[in-house]
Chain A
Amino acid sequence: MESLWPQVERLLLGVSKPARYIGGEQGAQYPEHGPGKVAWMLLYPDTYEIGLPNQGLQILYEILNERPDAVAERAYAPWVDMEAAMRAAGVPLFSVEQHVAARDFDVMAFNLSAELVYTNLLNLLDLARVPLHAGEREPGDPWVIAGGHCAFNPEPLADFVDAFALGDGEELVGEINHAIAGWLAAPAPERKREDLRLTLAQIEGVYVPALYTSSYRDGRLAGTVPVMPGVPAEVAKRTVTDLADWPYPARPLVPLTEVVHDRLNVEVFRGCTRGCRFCQAGMITRPVRERPAEQVKEMVSTGLAWSGHDEVTLTSLSTADFSGIEDTVREIIDDPVHEGRVSVSLPSLRVDAFTVGTAAQIQKVRRTGLTFAPEGGTWRMRQVINKLITEDDLYSAVDAAFSQGWRRVKLYFLIGLPTERDEDVIGIAELGKHCVEIGRRYTKSVTVVASVGGFVPKAHTPFQWFGQDTVDELQRKVNLLREHARTTRGLTVRWHEPAASAVEGLASRGDRRMGAVIERVWRAGGTFQEWSERFDLALWEEALAAEGLSLAEVAHRHRDELEPLPWDHISAGLHRDFLWSDWQDALAEAAVEDCRWTPCYDCGACTGFGLEHVVASPVPPAGGSQGTGQDLSVGGRIPVRLISGVRSGAEAG
């Protein structure tokens, strides 16, 4: 195991932000590689500043390095100037800790959090000098594994990835490590890649694309089936039942240089049952599993003492829904060990005045901006997407924010949603206008920012059958919104590039044929496509045309109930008929309530795996109507089944 540091060091005076390539973070580990230890390179296929804070990668980093039979180091995508310098000097991809070449690892494991990074994955394999296609790899080549939310439609990367890991990785990573260690224990001449492929395919939650084949009829996917007996027809995700068993990251990485979330993160729960129909994360991570409040507080105080940060974010898909969130936050802030110097941030506020009250308690000093996500511009639209925020909820939240000293309110919306009409788009401007008026009652310098993203349908959601808006249609709606917002001083509209949404749709719902498209875009130099200055729609259109495909066919076309979908052999637990009926409910503008506090809809996420929600509070949170579909001013009365034996952090140690 040779260190490439002397070669790397000579490149660093000539590149931007060289601290991205030196490692040295607090919490970085320098494990000794050797026989009997599977060497993992954990990769985030975007820049260091984006990738370092990723919690999934940090969790696996610690779990693997705790094992006697594994070592793990990290790598990120070198920025274009560093890539050019590396290629010119003949320096291959290296880990940041010990600057070990990627080829010296047994596994290259990618975190896939966003579709637009797929060309970066190819680029990293190439920089690593690993054959691009899984089928071309020799026994001495690293195993290319990928996990994360994007793995729930693995097909666009099926040509390049040896195995996908679906769902929570805490337990799964150990099982994969065990399988690889067994394969590596055999003498080198006896190692065959097909043997380990079969072994991996037997592990619940592992999908080995080479063991499946897709067929096509009339230019469309007809199905994806195993190529041999003994390979499961469907691969289901893994779910960790009790977060209390996994208090990770225990020693979070503290970078030497600036990154996107430069603060302590503590995950308070996983999963979400609000049931927002556009939200893939909420669908594929069910059920809700809360971390015991005691353990949250413990992780906050040890994490702050360890890192020296003065700010902690309590992370989850909807942190205001954490049972007893106000008490937890208050106890953190009032803990004398923090000497009154710690601030807590909640990444997503529920839209109601009550939640703003919690925020006021947290942000005693820095009241700069608050963010809410109504997502739809009209009540009709919000029923379609099942984001049940009434106008009263929003206006009372905004009133509370401005009256308690905030000056800037940011509102997140999606456009291009199913059944959307122009009045729904204009409704965004109307909501924004009203929020500005509310703010004016309290302060002259009101800023309301409406941030709109183009909706991209995702696999395993009720909207997976929907043909997304074309680039032109999204642009027309952006223009319409701007026109209606223009006359309101204090209201600003921000929007994402519509062309990027279209390309995201290619990867989110494409089948195996998308692999050749991704490869063409990469060969044409299309890396870092999630960076607006690097994104190039023309590269994608040319590649699609060369492969006989089109945006119209892959992204903009509605699917019918019986059409085989590229991810039909992948299961997030959700029954296809549940998703279809939820899709029909959406079209009928019918909402469903949060199943955490209401009877089960049998979506499949719990029942299919013998799981239940792990929620400490039997009643919904007080406050607005969001998600519960009822007047909560009287308090919730719907009983919930609590999983038995929810443990406290103290017991879980």
Chain B
Amino acid sequence: MAEARRVRFRFSKTGKVRFTSHRDVARMWERALRRSRLPVALSQGFSPHPLLSFGLALPTGCESRGEYLDARLDEARPDEVSFDALPSLLTPLLPDGVVVQAAGAVALAEGSLQQEVASCDWELEVFGLSGEELQERVEQVLASPSLIVHRERKGRPTEDDVRPAILTLAVTHDDGPEQGEQPIGRFRAELATHPRGVRPSDLLSAFGTDVVLARACRTHQWIERDGARFEPLSVSGLGTDPVVVHA
């Protein structure tokens, strides 16, 4: 990896640790990378900090099986990093529930995760609706030409039409475990990230107030190029064959 001075990690965030924030995740990675003694490059200036670049923020409380992080490596320091070893090196240094699945080189010329990722797949569980009722509601949502939701951005109330960002919705007809008396509805969603990202909570507010989010898990993030979809780093590559996204 002589030329690869940017390493991309794919990791999961499940269980109790899902209640930490995006900023918390950034700090836990900074500490883990320091403990790993990997040659992560530092920024210049008064407060040098490791050059890490996270993808789309995962909302606090949501799980993920497909999170990404790019780290710049220090050119000046000896090259002793083996991608194969990175997941098992870093996972023990991260909190329970954060598991590094893969690592691979990404060319510096590639765009950032923030720019490149166009959509995300989600698995969602809700209280309030299930089965046929949920199916009907999903069809209503998909049939609507626009769905205005009210949310706060930088402390100000805004109105957004989230309908264009809802790419697919599909009820999952599996009879998973019920929580207590309350039936749980399950469905999958693919949500676009541009121009305004839609979070699961925004999507749910388009469903109506009788539907309450029970659990959300981001399963994939997708990069689109020339009409084809790619994951930022494929798990099957497992680092031996670092996936730099080319069409």
Q: Are B47 and A257 in contact (CB under 8 A)?
A: no
* Bound Cα distance A341, B27 (Å): 16
Given A18-B61, A366-B46, A258-B27 contact (CB < 8 Å) = yes
Residues of B within 8 A of A24 (CB): 16-17, 95-97
Known: A12-B61, A308-B34, A308-B93. A19 touches B47 (CB 8 A): no
List A contacts of B28 (CB < 8 A): 256
Most chain B CB atoms below 10 A, which of A9, A13, A17: A13
Of residues 416 to 457 in A, which have CB atoms within 8 Å of B's CB atoms? none
The answer to whether A22 and B17 touch (CB under 8 A), given A308-B34, A308-B35, is yes
- Residues A366 and B47 in contact in the complex (CB < 8 Å), given A18-B61, A305-B35: yes
B24 at the interface (CB under 8 A from A): yes
| A12-B61, A309-B31 given; A258·B19 CB < 8 A | no
The 0/1 profile, CB within 8 Å of A marked 1, for residues 27-58 of chain B is: 11011111100000010001110000000000
Chain B residues closer than 8 Å to A23, beta-carbon distance: 16
Contact: A257 with B31, CB < 8 Å? no
Query: Chain A: which residue is nearest B59 at the CB level?
Result: A13
- Give chain B residues whose Cβ lies under 8 Å from the Cβ of A366: 46-47
Per-residue CB proximity of A2-24 to B under 8 Å, as 1/0? Answer: 00010001001100011101111
The distance in angstroms between the C-alpha atoms of A22 and B96, with both chains bound, is 11
**Is A88 positioned at the interface, with any CB of B under 8 Å from its CB?**
no
Shortest A360–chain B CB gap in Å is: 15
B21 within 8 A of A: yes
Residue of chain A at shortest CB distance from B49: A310
Q: State the Cβ distance, A296 to closest chain B Cβ, in Å.
A: 21
Number of interface residues of A (CB under 8 A): 27
**Which chain B residues in 193-247 approach chain A with CB under 8 Å?**
213
Contact B61 A257 (CB under 8 A): no
Contacts of B60 in A (CB 8 A): 18-19
In-complex Cβ contact of A256 among B24, B30, B33, B47 (8 A): B24
Query: What per-residue 1/0 map shows which CB atoms of B58-84 lie under 8 Å from chain A?
Result: 001100000000000000000000000
Q: Is the interface of A mostly helix, strand, loop or mixed?
A: loop
Taking a contact as CB atoms under 8 Å apart, the answer to whether A365 and B47 are in contact is yes
Tell me the bound Cα distance from A581 to B163 in angstroms. Answer: 78
* In contact, B20 and A19 (Cβ under 8 angstroms): yes
B48–A365 touching, CB < 8 Å: yes
Q: Does A268 contact B (CB under 8 A)?
A: no
Which B residue's beta carbon lies closest to that of A307? Answer: B31
Nearest chain A CB to B174 CB, angstrom units: 21
A464-515 CB contacts (< 8 Å) to partner B:
none
| A26, B95: Cβ atoms closer than 8 Å | yes
Bound-state Cα–Cα, A219 to B201, Å: 60
Query: Within the assembled complex, what's the spacing in Å between the Cα atoms of A9 and B125?
Result: 15
B216 CB to closest chain A CB (Å) equals 9
A308 touches B31 (CB 8 A): yes
Q: Which residues of B contact A367 (CB under 8 A)?
A: 46
Could you tell me the distance between the alpha carbons of A368 and B31 in the complex, rounded to whole angstroms?
23
With both chains docked as a complex, state the minimum distance between the C-beta of A206 and any C-beta of chain B, in angstroms: 37
- Judge if A320 is at the interface, Cβ distance under 8 Å: no
- With a cutoff of 8 Å between Cβ atoms, the chain B residues found around residue A12 in the complex are 19, 61
CA distance A257 to B27 in the complex (A): 8
A310 to chain B: which residues have CB within 8 Å? 34
Q: Is residue A388 contacting chain B, with contact meaning CB distance below 8 A?
A: no
**A258 to B24, Cβ gap below 8 A?**
yes
Cα distance A87–B35 in the bound complex, in angstroms: 41
Residues of A near B17 (CB, < 8 A) are 22, 24, 256
Give which listed residue, B32, B46, B61, contacts A308 with CB less than 8 A: B32
* Residues A13 and B213 in contact, CB atoms below 8 Å apart: yes
Question: Which residues from chain B contact A26 at a C-beta distance below 8 Å?
Answer: 95
Q: Which of B35, B42, B61 contacts A13 (CB 8 A)?
A: B61
Interface residues of B (CB under 8 A from A): 16-17, 19-21, 23-24, 27-28, 30-35, 42, 46-48, 60-61, 93, 95-97, 213
A-B pairs with beta carbons under 8 Å apart, 10 shown: A5-B16, A13-B61, A19-B20, A22-B17, A24-B17, A26-B95, A256-B17, A310-B34, A341-B48, A366-B46
Using CB atoms and an 8 Å cutoff, list the residues of chain A in contact with chain B.
5, 9, 12-13, 17-19, 21-24, 26, 254, 256-258, 262, 305, 307-310, 341, 365-368
